[in-house]
Amino acid sequence: MIYRRFIGFPNWEFRSPFTELERMKRQMDRLMEGMAGPYQRPYAGVFPLINLTETKDSFFVRAELPGVVAGDLDIQATSNSISISGERKLPAENKDARWHRREREAGKFSRMIAMPSEIDPNQVDASLVSGILTVTVPKAEIAKPRQIAVR
């Protein structure tokens, strides 16, 4: 009986124990593709894409926001997180235009970034230059490293 299960009796070929799982995964993928229909676009992912860096005194959140103007952004800070939300608007196309590809999305977005340590929400500063939002987030005094003198 164990030969039948792993070797594929009567063919006598070795089968991986994961062969059946792979077959089921392929069937589920085909099923999901059929349910999506021809007009569904794939999910674009998290927007905006961000980088979070740190220095001794501050964190820097840099977000890619092409086509977004500063007036369409709302940035809020708490003691341990930053929230970036807004709306990206695309210029209207001619009503007679035929689409060949549509990859740029428009609409509202929101992103919450948990900070690695406490921050000072009253000192947060933001600037938007060439589609890159830079949020400078000072660390709270309690979170800054201190130099300890040895006696």
Q: pLDDT 10s digit of each residue in the chain, 151 long?
A: 455 555 555 555 566 777 888 888 888 888 777 665 554 444 445 688 999 999 989 999 999 998 899 999 999 999 899 999 999 888 888 888 888 887 777 889 999 999 999 999 999 999 999 999 999 999 988 877 788 889 8
Q: Is residue 61 part of a domain?
A: yes
132 and 66 in a common domain = yes
What is the residue type of 150?
V
- Distance (Å, rounded) from C-alpha 20 to C-alpha 73? 49
| Domain limits for position 83 | 50-90+106-142
Instruction: Give me the residue label for tokens 């085909």.
Output: 30
Number of domains into which the chain is organized = 2
- Distance (Å, rounded) from C-alpha 100 to C-alpha 36? 19
CATH number at 62 reads 2.60.40.790
129 and 79 in a common domain = yes
111 and 67 in a common domain = yes
DSSP class of 115: -
72 and 113 in a common domain = yes
Q: Is residue 44 part of a domain?
A: no
Q: How, if at all, do strands 107-114 and 81-88 pair?
A: antiparallel
Verdict on whether the full-model pTM lies above 0.85: no
